[in-house]
Amino acid sequence: MDLITTHAGFEFLLRWLHFLSGITWIGVLYYFNFIQTPFFGSELGGPAKGAMTRGLVPNALWWFRWGAMLTFLTGWLIVFMKLGSGISLADGYMTRVLTGGVMGTLMWFNVWFVIWPAQRDYAIKSAEQVAAGGEPVPGTPDKAALAGRASRTNTLFSIPMLFFMGSASHMSWLHNGSNDLVYWLAAGAVILFVEYNAFNGPAATQKPLGSVSGTIHFGLGLTVVLYVLGAVLN
């Protein structure tokens, strides 16, 4: 009964749901970026793209967006429970968690307000119209490109996001609260630049998003940058 009647038990259930929904979300994200998109660009996958966009993609996107929503809601509920239990925002644990949480929130935003609308209103609708003998929805290539950059940005964000979430209970030496404002100004600027880059960045900084390896290296690089900022501004 402690599982449902105590603060610790309820927090554990939230954390379990957070992990479960997060695995679902990130798993589908990696499927899209590491498997489906390269396949659609292949000689075999190109002709299958229309049928898969009409048949497979809508179902995958359902799990994708609702996995993101449940991860987002349970994650912030856990944060508020921690704050309610007396853990200060200046605590290193909260700084590490919120570093990941900020990126996770931007990822959630990209799913619900960039990727899903572009897929629903352009890619899927166009595939259905073409299959019925009609014309593609105007503007589909541009929207597809934007959704692709947002999806790749989510993939690169997932690397440092998971690093900082995992570090919360295992890297007590990182962040002691003495330079939190400076840290957040610096880290926030870096994170927001990466998000901005998906929408309005120059070709040079968007180029790594064009490949799986470039996206992974970008994500690893962002992890190192944020870790160094945390270490220097400890």
pTM: 0.95
Does the structure show a pLDDT above 70 at 1? no
Q: Rounded to an integer, what distance in angstroms lies between the CA atom of residue 142 and that of residue 69?
A: 26
Does the structure show a pLDDT above 70 at 132? yes
Does the structure show a pLDDT above 90 at 89? no
* Interval 13-30 mean pLDDT: 97
* Interval 38-48 mean pLDDT: 93
Choose among 141, 161, 155, 150: nearest CA to 201: 150
Contact 13, 4 (CB under 8 A): yes
Does the structure show a pLDDT above 70 at 37? yes
pLDDT level of residue 210 (50, 70, 90 thresholds): very high
* Interval 200-211 mean pLDDT: 95
